[in-house]
Structure 1
């Protein structure tokens, strides 16, 4: 096997063993596409020639001290390591020395200096062809360890080889294991840049109010959507500007989307409704990282892999435009059939290469693997980051051995897929169809078994792929088969995911689609009780905002009976708050400023006081609608902060409330009505009418969110 790993870092110390899970890239077959793929037929240059949409830029992490810098610190991000913090920073060129950071307990007295290591890869294009303040190719890791818990420290990145030293910055270490003080965490998935402005604004407001850290479950920058500007609009993927399908699903879009095309631009190129964010894979990474570092520079930003981190692309265009470009090196062309393989991407854009270098998670310190799977403690909670993309049986991205059905480990070129990835851990005896053979599974069992629930009573697991959703796919079955039984056996409290671009909260779910309604509080679908070993909460939160817009129910499809709340319209993130050893709350924070779109209270209840058992729904997981359309229903819903709602009417029934603006109280009523028809919401005296989807259950549409009972 021919492989390529990190680039030669002349003049920079690098020990191969210190690269955190450096991916191996197979180069057995040559890459035959353009030297530098640029998805813009109007402006096929790297930095932009001024034609059409302008190329987007974001400020670097450190402002250069000169007008024409030769090197610069462009990205800074933090992540936890046991009893300390990893300071990750990025430059376009090497430092010539070990990366160094000064630190201390006082902003005015940085008394200590620590050095770290550097790694990198042969990115396409190299930073020698990109503006110094808009490119990263060298990645530096400096760890400060043996620190006191819940303590603020100050640090400064030192200058080297043309860079400018950073301002004096700060971070706060993690709470000690078992610390009973409350804390909040930002949880998000599927962010990108294009539609995430509101989410990002409210993330920063939440950080100002005091977040412990951010936990991002994959699909970070959407760098692999660089090609969206050269694929034609289509009815089943309506995210192009001024084409045959030029409308997006309902959502919160900036006014800039409605601006006319600039002179020389062609309809259907650039992002949705325009903008050349998405024309170079690596530049998308640079743009996104420089944008979000207002968070990553002050909060630990803990990440895990999603499908959009795997490779330069996932699929071809409707006329095989990517085959023409990446395989045949033919710009603005088509091909008779799709011939995309693992080798169709430039080598630096395969096998999670950028993802593994652009972040540094505590995999090696916690027995896991790099950024792919790891765990950490914070106060009363244990957090587990799983890889939902590779390294389990029938994962959505897979290793070469699966391409050959186990006959060989080296497939022919045409046997491979463009997203082939991993394995990042071992597969015992190459038994790739058995999850128990994978290192990730073995690690998960050990990690769960080692948790001291007297110190960390709460356990949260996140991966990119959901186990359950109204938007069913076979991937949910495979990840359920791989991990659900183990998570239930060890009493995990909640499983969090994204991937589907909407917000969806399920009822507590037991094994294989069993709905545990006995763990839902009476007359209150916003409160669940834990039921150790029987069920856990499931939440899909893929609404941070991205170029692909929202997921929506297809025509004729209805919400399944496992779904308690579904929002297909509003971008946002979630805030998980651990109040104490018995109570956790979860809030979906809308990015449009409308406040809280959904709230859940999760109450810890021991099995000794909970004699309930989960029973299968009468309709089962594959139900097409919710039963009982005209029986009396008891309703409880929490009104979003900032919305002054005086009444909610459904048919002949009305829920009256005196909820003042800025609170999150509840209103409860009993009704007897058929659900289809019109839902009227009186908000601050202004009548808004919405037509409900036909559901055989009571539903409330409040601030854009459907609440089901």
Structure 2
């Protein structure tokens, strides 16, 4: 299959001369050829299959079945969307009525014919299935290579990759067989760093008319890089600030004395436009809202995705006082909070004893960036309904904290605590590099590092033991591990008195 490659010839001349422009990209045999294939759970008996094309498809269609050579079922939709400045169309088809924990094969149809050899995916374990499973967690991970994080940096940038060092995507791909699915709670491609990269002379300067194309090239490069993960494992995303806003708003070019505003931002870079088009998370089955807040069950765990960027409730529209970075709100007053309380209250802890919430911004952290508006509204619900773990990023470090509530560390630590365990790992890697920890570390921090890129694994052993491993992206080794114990009767699915 001829897949479009986003090799954009970005080598800067020693004289810093501006090239005529990016040299474009290779074409596919047919503009409806699928690229950037990805899968997401859609309720207990369904998945959403998504892919991009360079031309709109009137009726996106997928063949699928349990056997690769007899794909006797088909599903179609009319969901082929784009937006001004986008270079592609995003196509989405829901496959319903699937068996739980079952291997399926799918093929994309192009003009009535099969597009390629079948790809495969596995459906979610049914709620109440207490078999062990493992989830990969990446946050704040952008494009790797000439358009993003690489062994070189722009002027004033830091934390380049070391020569020969593996990226997070490479290591995830190598360990994919160990993972049941992957979650990415915010800050995906970092395509909105294009202006910073140009100012720092990492990318060649372009004209205002070309700015949207630069943004979209970086965005598409990221999803091309991810395809060996997203086409085989469900990839569940949450919104982050780099999906929400134009990061270039307020960017300063000190050399030229220019401060840019959001007026320079491409359409796909504002108000979550690209994020809303590219993904279809299971908000429908869970009563949530688009890709912003939703939930789903997998075996013995209930996963909840929240939006820490907009719609915080109680009159708070964003993570900081004032404008939520030119974005939202998307729901009615308190809609997200009301939904979250209803969702958490309805969890059947006999079937899904573990409750994990994924959001972008930290409530507790030793590197700053704490979202006090988020903790004010969400943390009481976490405590009231016994959320076991809140995992986030936004801060580009690794920071494992003790269970804590209202700034008071749980005296039981990880031995059957009453409070939620808070972990930050926003160190997956992107052009901006890593952040810096503040010393002395906060008293609730148990392990932290700001030296190397990493991601995490959540290993659900049984109803009472959950292990979090922090993994070096460079070599795939585990550098920190801790296990949360909850005193539950696994036979009955209940807490012991």
CA contact (8 A) 1:397 1:421 kept: no
1:572 Cα deviation after fit: 1.5
Corresponding residue to 1:515 among 409, 422, 429: 409
Residues 477, 109 of structure 1: alpha-carbon distance in 2 compared, 3 angstrom cutoff: same
Q: Distance in 2 between matches of 1:270 and 1:396?
A: 34
From the CA coordinates, give the structure whose radius of gyration is larger.
Answer: 1
Q: Distance in 2 between matches of 1:395 and 1:344?
A: 24
Residues 1:215 and 2:189 are matched in the alignment:
no
CA contact (8 A) 2:311 2:318 kept: no
Cα deviation per residue 1:389-447 (whole Å; 9 max; x = unaligned)?
A: 1111545468xxx86xxxxxxxxxxxx78x311111112xxxxxxxxxx2110100010
Corresponding residue to 1:85 among 30, 47, 51: 47
Residues 1:205 and 2:174 are matched in the alignment:
yes
Q: Distance in 1 between matches of 2:453 and 2:282?
A: 29
TM-score (norm: length of structure 1): 0.60
CA contact (8 A) 2:18 2:204 kept: no
CA contact (8 A) 1:397 1:420 kept: no
2:229 is aligned to 295
CA contact (8 A) 1:231 1:317 kept: no
1:346 Cα deviation after fit: 3.2
Residues 45, 460 of structure 1: alpha-carbon distance in 2 compared, 3 angstrom cutoff: farther
Residues 1:482 and 2:416 are matched in the alignment:
no
Corresponding residue to 1:530 among 380, 395, 416: 416
1:143 is aligned to 94
CA contact (8 A) 1:79 1:302 kept: yes
CA contact (8 A) 1:223 1:282 kept: yes
1:693 is aligned to none
Matches within 5 A, 1:139-178: 139-160=90-111, 165-178=115-128
Matches within 5 A, 1:506-655: 506-511=401-406, 513-516=407-410, 518-520=411-413, 528-532=414-418, 535-553=419-437, 557-593=439-475, 595-605=477-487
Deviates more, 1:597-606 or 1:573-582: 597-606
Cα deviation per residue 1:22-66 (whole Å; 9 max; x = unaligned)?
A: xxxxxxxxxxxxxxxx9x9844655x14xxxxx8x7x99xxx5x4
1:425 is aligned to 331
2:6 is aligned to none
Q: Distance in 2 between matches of 1:567 and 1:79?
A: 31
1:179 is aligned to 129
1:71 Cα deviation after fit: 3.8
2:275 is aligned to 355
1:123 Cα deviation after fit: 3.3
Residues 484, 574 of structure 1: alpha-carbon distance in 2 compared, 3 angstrom cutoff: same
CA contact (8 A) 1:180 1:380 kept: yes
Matches within 5 A, 1:653-668: none
1:278 Cα deviation after fit: 11
CA contact (8 A) 2:312 2:319 kept: no
1:320 Cα deviation after fit: 6.8
Residues 1:390 and 2:324 are matched in the alignment:
no
Q: Specify every segment of 5 or more residues in structure 2 that has no aligned partner in the other structure, as ranges.
A: 1-9, 151-165, 206-210, 489-493
Q: Distance in 1 between matches of 2:389 and 2:228?
A: 29
Q: Specify every segment of 5 or more residues in structure 1 that has no aligned partner in the other structure, as ranges.
A: 1-37, 50-54, 128-135, 233-266, 272-276, 322-332, 404-415, 428-437, 521-527, 611-709
1:372 is aligned to 292
Residues 1:115 and 2:10 are matched in the alignment:
no
CA contact (8 A) 2:469 2:482 kept: yes
CA contact (8 A) 1:80 1:300 kept: yes
2:394 is aligned to 499
What's the secondary structure of 2:437's corresponding residue? coil
CA contact (8 A) 1:186 1:575 kept: yes
1:344 Cα deviation after fit: 4.2
CA contact (8 A) 1:229 1:279 kept: no
CA contact (8 A) 1:227 1:279 kept: no
Q: Distance in 2 between matches of 1:99 and 1:385?
A: 27
Residues 112, 440 of structure 1: alpha-carbon distance in 2 compared, 3 angstrom cutoff: same
1:580 Cα deviation after fit: 0.7
Residues 76, 222 of structure 1: alpha-carbon distance in 2 compared, 3 angstrom cutoff: same
Residues 457, 608 of structure 1: alpha-carbon distance in 2 compared, 3 angstrom cutoff: closer
1 or 2 for the larger relative contact order (CA 8 Å, sep ≥6)?
2
Q: Distance in 1 between matches of 2:196 and 2:352?
A: 44
What's the secondary structure of 1:201's corresponding residue? helix
Residues 422, 74 of structure 1: alpha-carbon distance in 2 compared, 3 angstrom cutoff: same
2:3 is aligned to none
Residues 175, 92 of structure 1: alpha-carbon distance in 2 compared, 3 angstrom cutoff: same
Deviates more, 1:71-80 or 1:173-182: 71-80
1:105 is aligned to 66
CA RMSD of aligned residues (A): 2.8
What's the secondary structure of 1:140's corresponding residue? strand
1:574 Cα deviation after fit: 0.6
1:253 is aligned to none
Q: Distance in 1 between matches of 2:379 and 2:442?
A: 20
1:224 is aligned to 192
CA contact (8 A) 2:105 2:121 kept: yes
Cα deviation per residue 1:522-563 (whole Å; 9 max; x = unaligned)?
A: xxxxxx12333xx11110010111111111136xx4212111
Q: Distance in 2 between matches of 1:170 and 1:371?
A: 24
CA contact (8 A) 1:123 1:282 kept: no
Residues 1:457 and 2:353 are matched in the alignment:
yes
What's the secondary structure of 2:167's corresponding residue? helix
1:109 Cα deviation after fit: 0.6
Tell me which stretches of 4 or more aligned residues in structure 1 moved more than 6 Å.
Answer: 607-610
Cα deviation per residue 1:324-380 (whole Å; 9 max; x = unaligned)?
A: xxxxxxxxx543xx4624x44233432000011111111122110111110000000
Q: Distance in 2 between matches of 1:281 and 1:386?
A: 26
Matches within 5 A, 1:274-423: 280-319=214-253, 333-335=256-258, 338=259, 340-341=261-262, 343-393=263-313, 394=316, 396=318, 419-423=325-329
1:121 Cα deviation after fit: 2.9
2:340 is aligned to 444
What's the secondary structure of 1:519's corresponding residue? coil
